[in-house]
Amino acid sequence: MALTLSQRDYHELIQASATAATGATGDFEEKWHYPESLGQGYQHSIELRDGVQMDIARYQLRHQVMTTAEERPHPVECTFYLEGAYTDPPLGPKCYGLYGSGLAPGGTSIKPAEHPHAWLSLHIDPERLSQWLGSRALPLPELLRSPQQLYYSQFGTMTAPMQMVLHQILHCPYTGVIKQLYLESKAWELLTLCLHDALSQQQPPGPSINLKPADIERIHQARDILLRHFNNPPTLAELARQIHLNECALKRGFRQVFGTTVFGYLHHYRLDYARQLLQQGTKTVTGVAHTVGFASRSSFARAFRKKFGINPGQYLRQG
């Protein structure tokens, strides 16, 4: 059985179903649990300061819900889709949406019931952002539009730094006003990362070389060899010999196909895999370092901290 509700009624149904502030740690936050008739889960709203709000939701609906909305004023928004598939916008997990201020169009959104959903969203009043900017120009000026203009939107895949900040938010160790200050700093950090990623998507591509289909296949073969032997990879010369390309063609072709150097790609793969191992919590930091091919714990810790902004030991304890 599908339910059809206005967006306002949908949110009011959730917020009227439980005592506000259940599970919250300050008067700046409220938490509501979904009513049984709708599903199970919660929505957590945190006011970081006047005009800056963070919302976190994790739920699974009992039935498909269709919500309708009218045209309405819209704040600046960053939403990170952590789990589940979405129809409006049509995104999967590990994606994000950056929305500007202006006019949000009316329409219908379908919330499926097959799988759990989780997201984190930031809402920033455009006047608050303008006050913070002062006389400085926003690097993405279309993010601030008048209430009569259709809002700007940009979508992308979460970067590793975004995922790290989200992990820190969801495992915030503080309470009270310190929690509020900490989460506000992370909110601005997330907005910065979204702006940087949106701007990078607008950059024109660099000069390229003409790669034959057979060469592209060899470049992918080189990537597969690297990943199979990521903890003890071949040298660049050995890799070039294995795929029957010269070193220069391998280096230039790899950068064109994958957007980075051969060993830059390998380096980031090792660190991403290391982060997954630390999340599982079955190995020590030293054990993870050796598994992914680092010669020492100290060199691994430096590289991990540079990529993710946190020490691997601290990340392991948070997981």
Query: Is 139 a domain residue?
Result: yes
- What was the pLDDT predicted at 87? 63
Residue 61 above 80 pLDDT?
Answer: yes
Task: Give the pLDDT confidence of 160-169 residue by residue, as tens digits.
Answer: 889 899 999 9
Model pLDDT, residue 265 = 86
Last residue of some domain: 176, 202, 228?
A: 202
Q: Length of the chain, please?
A: 319
Q: Are residues 9 and 149 in the same domain?
A: yes
Model pLDDT, residue 207: 57
Whether the predicted pLDDT of 35 surpasses 50 = yes
What is the domain range of residue 31? 3-202
**Main-chain phi, psi angles of 100, to 5 degrees:** -95, 175
In this structure, the strands spanning 52-61 and 95-99 are unpaired
Q: How far, in Å, CA of 62 to CA of 114, rounded?
A: 9
Strand residues in the chain grouped as ranges (E): 3-6, 29-33, 39-49, 52-61, 65-69, 72-74, 76-83, 95-99, 102-104, 107-111, 117-124, 153-157
Q: Within this chain, do residues 297 and 157 fall inside the same structural domain, yes or no?
A: no
Name which of 22, 313, 310 is nearest 167 in CA terms. 310
Q: Is residue 36 domain-resident? A: yes
For residue 90, what are its two tokens? Answer: 């049509």
Q: What is the pLDDT averaged over residues 248-270?
A: 87
Q: What pLDDT, in 10s, does the model give residues 181-222?
A: 999 999 999 999 999 988 887 655 555 567 788 888 899 999
Given a cut of 60, whether residue 24 has pLDDT beyond it is no
| Mean pLDDT value of segment 253-280 | 87
Task: State pTM to two decimals.
Answer: 0.67
- Which is nearest to 168 in space by CA: 127, 203, 200, 120? 120
Same structural domain for residues 96 and 52? yes
- Whether 66 contacts 107, CB under 8 Å: no
Q: Does position 22 have pLDDT exceeding 80, yes or no? A: no
Report pLDDT for 208.
58
Task: Specify the pLDDT at position 21.
Answer: 42
Task: Pick the last residue of a domain from 148, 174, 202.
Answer: 202
- Determine the 3-state secondary structure of 169 from DSSP: helix
Please give the pLDDT value at position 160: 85
Q: Please indicate, yes or no, if residue 207 is contained in any of the structural domains.
A: no
Band (319; pLDDT cuts 50, 70, 90)? low
Assigned token pair, 195:
């702006």
Whether residues 116 and 197 fall in one domain: yes
Q: How much is the mean pLDDT over the chain?
A: 87
**Of the residues 202, 231, 251, the one at which a domain ends:** 202
For residue 146, what are the contacts with CB-CB under 8 A and spacing of at least 6?
Answer: 102
How confident is the model over 68-122, as pLDDT tens digits?
A: 888 999 999 999 999 887 766 666 778 899 999 999 888 777 788 878 999 999 9
User: What's the CATH code of the domain at 265?
Assistant: 1.10.10.60
Structure tokens at 143: 């993010």
| Contacting residues for 37 by C-beta, under 8 A, at least 6 apart | 62
User: What tokens does 250 get?
Assistant: 């391998």
